[in-house]
Amino acid sequence: MNMLPLIVLTLCAATVAAALMLVHAAERLRLRRRAGRDAVLRTRYLQTVLHACVYGSGPMRFPLLGRPGTRTILAETLAGLGSVTCGLDAGPLRRAVAGCGLDRWLLRRARRCGGYRRARALALLARLPLDAAVAEEVGRYLRSRNRCVRFQALCVQLAADPSSALRRMGEYGHPFSAAEVAGVLALLRRGLLPIAYGPLLTSPKRNLRRVGLGIVRLFGIEEAEAQLLYLTGAEDAELGREALYALCSMRRSLGRREVAFRIARMTLPERRSLLRYLAHEGYASGALLRLFDAGERPYYEALVQSYKRSLA
């Protein structure tokens, strides 16, 4: 029997397998070197920007900028710095963004990509110091079908033009989710938005009222109790529930007519959820006597006695 074809076939298969393994190894090596280079560049860029922000002006040089992936690293570094710090001199950050054309580059990227890549580009853009003109350029993404893209476009507008933040949030055509309210509050904590909660709570726009409630809850503003009680007794169930949670987060008295009204209209799962929150906030079971049925009180007492609160 002639074995030659089999030997040739085996040799070919072995050669192809060896070549594939070599390519795979080369790719892994390239990725490892790239990850190492990215880590070094990230630290170097951060050091450069931080030095300019903390110690005053100076030339900012970003080595290897223009090579593949380096602009993303610089954008992520500046965005990261912007999101976890406050009170830094924005001048050097603006110079870096303008000098490297990061805003134009991210806008181009948002235009060319779709879906979550576009949302990612917009999220980076929202955390950079921007000119007001950028706010208009991302306006078209507010009509996107992707919720994430829509909201990040709004964040870019809020960050670029804080003076029109209330109008833009009011005109936003979709109701904010809890995560989106938290996103707006993150901008507020960076000092980009005003903390005037009064007009927000009385606004006819639902999104603005939700942001107002978020501000009251975030900063524990006890002066807003009367407005919170008004919202708790309002017809809008979701808003009323949030106002009630805001009241509870400030440990205010539950012996009000509006509170009883809201709790009476809650479904059983909602009431259970509220009981868990009340236990977390440390309300005594005596404070709930008039608000909950006798059947629900053992659940609350079990929660209090479970010492789950003590874990935190």
Partner 1 sequence: MHRILIVSDDTFLCDLIRLSLVDMRVEVHCAADAAGMRAQCRRVLFDLVIVLAAGLFLGGEEPLREVRPAGLRRPAVYVLAWQQTEQTVLSLLEAGVNQYMTFPVSLHRLRRKVADELNRTL
Binding site for partner 1 (CB under 8 A): 39, 42-43, 46-47, 50, 53-55, 77, 80-81, 83-88, 189-190, 218, 220, 249, 280-282, 311-312
CB of 309 to partner 1, least distance (A): 8
CB of 215 to partner 1, least distance (A): 13
Cα 57 from Cα 15, distance rounded (Å): 58
Cα 69 from Cα 42, distance rounded (Å): 11
CB of 36 to partner 1, least distance (A): 13
**Shorter beta-carbon distance to partner 1: residue 167 or 189:** 189
Taking alpha carbons only, the member of 36, 99, 49, 45 closest to residue 72 is 45
CB of 96 to partner 1, least distance (A): 16
**Shorter beta-carbon distance to partner 1: residue 249 or 273:** 249
CB of 187 to partner 1, least distance (A): 10
Alpha-helical (H) ranges within 56-69 are: none
| Torsion, CA 83, CA 88, CA 91, CA 92, rounded to 10 | -80
Cα 122 from Cα 74, distance rounded (Å): 15
**Shorter beta-carbon distance to partner 1: residue 84 or 294:** 84
**Shorter beta-carbon distance to partner 1: residue 44 or 256:** 44
In contact, 248 and 223? CB cutoff 8 Å? no
Residues 6+ apart with CB under 8 A from 42: 73, 76, 77
CB of 219 to partner 1, least distance (A): 9
Cα 229 from Cα 119, distance rounded (Å): 37
Structure-token pair, residue 131: 């000119």
Cα 224 from Cα 229, distance rounded (Å): 9
**Shorter beta-carbon distance to partner 1: residue 50 or 234:** 50
CB of 81 to partner 1, least distance (A): 7
**Shorter beta-carbon distance to partner 1: residue 77 or 207:** 77
**Shorter beta-carbon distance to partner 1: residue 107 or 193:** 193
Cα 308 from Cα 97, distance rounded (Å): 47
